[in-house]
Chains A and B, each alone.
Chain A
Amino acid sequence: MLHYVLKRLVSLAISLAVASLVIFFAIEVVPGDPAAYMLGMNAQPDTLAALRDQLGLNGSIPERYLSWVGGMLQGDFGTSYTYRTPVAEMIGERLWISLPLALYALTLSTLIAFPAGVWAASRRGSVVDMGVMGVTQLGVAIPNFWFAMLMVLVFAINLRWFSAGGFAGWEQGVLAGMKSLTLPAVALALPQASILTRVMRSSLLDTLSEDFIRTARAKGLTRRQVLWRHALRNAMIPVLTIIGMQFSFLMAGAIIIENVFFLPGLGRLVFQSIAARDLIVVESVVMLLVFAVIVVNFAVDVAYAAVDPRLRGRR
C-alpha cells in the first residue's frame, strides 16, 4: 500500500512539474515579450522597462521559470499588474466562493446520482429505469449555464425565492452564503449528476453480470443482499474515476456559472484579467486549477487502492 502511494506521489510531482512548464511556456514564452503584450501598442519604453523589472522578465527563461515556481512554493504568486495587489491574496479571497461552489455541486451530484443509479440498475428495464434514463439523457444534453439562466428566470425573477445573483458573503452566516450558492450549485450539479447516474447504473449492471455474483447467489444471498454486499463496492471503481474527472469539470464549470450569477469568484477574476491583459493573474489561476485537478486525481488513485486490494500489491 505504502509502495503504491509513494509511486503515485512521484507521478503526482512529475505531473505538476510538467504542467507548470506547459503553463509557463504558453503564457510567458510564446507571446514573446509579456510586458509589451500587457501594455499594448503605445507603451513608453521606460514604463515597459519598469514593468519588465517588476515582472522579473530580465533573467533567462530557466531562471524566470525557477523563480516563478520557487515563489509559488512559498505562497508568492507575484503581484497583479492591474490591481497592484499580491495575486495570492486575490486568489485566496475568490477561492472562498469558487471552491465551496464546486464542492457543493459535487456533493449534490453524488447525492443524487448514487440512489438514482442504484435504483435504476436494480429495476433494470422497468418504468423506473426508463424514467431515470430519460431524465439523465436530458440532463446530459442541457448546457449548464442555460439551465442556470432558466432557474434565475423561474426561482429568482418569478418566484423570488432566491436572489438573481451576487454573493451574500460568508460574514452573513454560512446559511446565507449557502443560499447564494444554491442555484449555481444546482445548475452545475445537474449535468454531472446525470453523467454519474448513468455511469453508476451501467457499472452496477456490468458487475451484476459477473461470475462472483452468481457464486454469491448460490450461497443463498437474495438479489438485494448481492447488490449491497458484493456489487456496489466493485462497481465503485469506474464511478470513482468519473467523480475524479468531474471535479475538474466542476471547477471549470464554476468559472462559467459564476458569470450567470455575478459571483465574485475565480471565474470573474480570470475574465477580468484577460480583458485587462493581466497575464500574471491568468497564469496563477490556471496553475491553481490544474494543481487542484491533479491533486484530486491523485486522491482518486489512492481511493482505488482502498477499494481494490489488487492494487495494493501482493503480500
Chain B
Amino acid sequence: MSLLRIEGLSLAIHDYAILHDVSLTVAPGQIVGVIGESGSGKSMTALTVMQLLPEGAQATGRVMLDGQDVLQLSEADLCGMRGRVMGMVFQEPMTALNPIQTIGDQVAETILVHDRVSRAEARERARQALARVELPEDRFPLTRYPHELSGGQRQRVVIAMAIALRPRLLIADEPTTALDVTTQAQILKLLKRLVQEDGMGLLMISHDLAVVADMADQLVIMRHGRVVESGPSPDLFHRMQHPYSKALLAASTHQPDRAAQPQEVPLLEVRGVIRDYVTARKGIWGKPGTFRAVDDVSFRIRRGESLGLVGESGCGKSTLTRAILGLEEVQAGEILLDSQPVFTGHKPNRAVRRRMQVVFQDPYGSFNPRHRVERLITEPFHLLNAPPQGAARDAAIAEALESVGLTADDRHKYIHEFSGGQRQRIAIARALIIKPDLIILDEAVSALDVSIRAQILDLLADLGDRLGLTYLFISHDLSVVRQVTDRVLVMQAGRIVEQGETAEIFDAPAHPYTKQLLSATPRLPDITDA
C-alpha cells in the first residue's frame, strides 16, 4: 500500500509545459530520491504534491496521498493537510524562517494551526519537536531568533516545524545543498532517523546523485520534466538502461585526462601569511577586536601543478585567495610568484598580478550585463603596459574564445545570450587572454550541473596541458578536488591542517578534521564491476 502515488502528472505554468506524465510512488517508511539537473522539474513535482505552485499553474493527472487526490481538494482541505499529513523542508535555510519570530513560536505554530490546544501545550510539543531534531532546550532555548542560529541549526528548525505533527509524508527539496559537507551529513542522518522512528515516507529531491544514493531506497531520475528511469537503489546504479541516466552517472564520477607532469620549480610560494580583520567594537567604549581569517599559512605550488584547497565555508579560503591575487594586504608573511612579491610597498605589484587570473563560481554574476563579450574578456589587458591594439587585439580575442570552445563571432554578443556553462567558458577565456601562469579556480564548477561540470573540467585539463598552466583549485566539493588535483591542502579555521599528494590524503587522511570531512562526503556506490 503506497502512501503517495503520482500517476500521469502533467503540469503547465501559464501554458508553458513543465512536467510530462510523471509517475512515482512513495511507501510508508520509504525514502525515494528524485534526481535531476536544473530544469528537470523535480522541485515542481514536490510543490505539486504540496499544492504550493506559483500562480497560473495547471496540473492534470492524479496525485494520491493517503487515499485522496490532492489535485481535487479544496484550498481549505489542503491547509488541513499541509503540516499534518505532509510536511516540507526547503533548500535555503537562511531565508526559510521568519526573521522576527522566535524558533519556539514558529514550531508551536504548526501545532496551533492544526490542533485545538493551549499555547502552553503547543510550546511543550514544540520543545519536544526541537529536541527530536537535536536542538535541546538547554542549549537552544525556544526564545532564540533565527539569526542567532547557524545554517544547519536553522535547517533543523525547519525540519522540526515539518515533523512536529508526525506527518505521513515529508518532502525535502535539496535540504542540504546550501550546507557544508559535515553539516550535510548530520542533516541527512537526522532525516533518516526521523523516517525510521515515525515510519513516514520521505520524498527527497537533489541534484547530487551521491547524496541520494547514500540514503534512498528508491531512485527516480528526471530530465526535462519527465521521469527517464526509476528503480530500487543501489541496484539501479548497476542496471541503468537509459542513456541519460548513464551519462549522468558518468559525469558525476568524471575523471579528466591529464598528461602534464608538474615541474620541480615552485611557481607560487606562500610563507607564514596572516590576515586579520578588525571586528565591531563590543559596547560603545569597547575596543574593536580582531578576527584572524588566515593564520600562519605556508605552502607552495609547483609550475604545472594542480593544487587543491578544500575547506568549509568561513575557513578562510576566500580571504587567502584575495591575498594571493593582491587584492588585500596581509599582516604578516609573504606571497611570492616566481620569487617576486605580490605586494610591494603597500601596493599591489602589477608585474606579478598580470601573471595570475581567477575564475569565479557564479556564472551569472561574473559579468557586467551591459558590456559585450569582447569588452568583458579584454578587461585584464588593463594590467599590461602595452595592451594589443587593432588586429593583434582581434587575434587575441579570437584565440581566447576559440581556445574555450566558442567562436570568434561570439565577441559581439551580450552575456545574457549565453547559458551557464558557456558563461563559465567565457570566464575562462577572460582569464586566459593575458596568458597567465597561474589560474585560481574559486569554486569555478560548483554552480554547474554535473554534465556541464564534466565538460568544463575536461576543458581545464586540456588547457592546462596545452598552455602549461598552473591551477589553484579551490572547492568545498571533495570529490571534484580528488578528480582534478595533484596535491591538496585542507584548511580549517584559517590554518592548513594537512597537505600532501591528493591520492594519499584521500586514501589515508592523518588529521582528524580531514577524516571527518572525508567520511561526511557522500559517495556513489562502487560500480567498477558494472
Contacts and interface: CB of A to CB of B under 8 A. Distances in A.
Check A-B contact in the complex, CB < 8 A.
yes
A233 B98 CA distance: 10
A230 B98 contact: yes
A171 interface: no
A3 B99 contact: no
B110 A310 contact: no
Interface in B72-98: 75-76, 79-84, 87-88, 90, 92, 95-98
A210 B158 CA distance: 15
B100 A233 contact: yes
Contacts of A219: 82-83, 87, 109-110, 113, 161-162
A210 B99 CA distance: 11
Nearest to A310: B147
B145 A211 contact: no
A230 B101 contact: yes
B283 interface: yes
B508 interface: no
Interface size class of A (residues with CB under 8 A): 20 to 34
A220 B148 contact: no
Given A219-B113, A220-B113, A230-B98, A211 B90 contact: yes
A84 interface: no
A222 interface: yes
Q: Among the interface residues A218, A222, A230, A314, which one has the most CB atoms of the partner chain B within 10 A?
A: A218
Given A221-B79, A310-B145, A210 B284 contact: no
B99 A308 contact: yes
Given A222-B79, A307-B100, A217 B52 contact: yes
Given A7-B284, A309-B145, A215 B83 contact: no
A25 interface: no
B283 A220 contact: no
B50 interface: yes
A217 B110 CA distance: 10
Contacts of B84: 220
Contacts of B110: 219-220
B119 interface: no
A55 B294 CA distance: 63
A11 to B, nearest CB: 11
A309 B81 CA distance: 32
A214 interface: yes
B114 interface: yes
Nearest to A236: B100
Interface of A is mostly: helix
Contacts of B147: 309-310, 314
A230 B97 CA distance: 10
A234 interface: yes
Nearest to A10: B284
B113 A308 contact: no
Given A222-B79, A309-B147, A215 B99 contact: no
A214 B90 contact: yes
Given A3-B283, A211-B95, A220 B145 contact: no
Contacts of B283: 3
A212 B88 CA distance: 12
Nearest to A124: B55
Contacts of B82: 217-220
B284 A310 contact: no
Interface in B382-407: none
Given A219-B83, A220-B113, A230-B98, 18 more contacts: A7-B284, A10-B284, A212-B99, A214-B52, A215-B98, A218-B88, A219-B82, A219-B109, A220-B80, A220-B81, A220-B82, A220-B84, A222-B75, A229-B109, A230-B101, A233-B100, A309-B99, A310-B147
18 contacts: A3-B284, A211-B92, A215-B88, A218-B52, A219-B87, A219-B113, A219-B161, A220-B83, A221-B109, A222-B79, A230-B101, A233-B100, A234-B100, A309-B99, A309-B100, A309-B147, A314-B147, A314-B148
Which 9 residue pairs of A and B lie closest in terms of their CB atoms, listed nearest first?
Answer: A220-B83, A211-B95, A220-B82, A219-B83, A218-B88, A309-B145, A219-B110, A212-B98, A215-B96
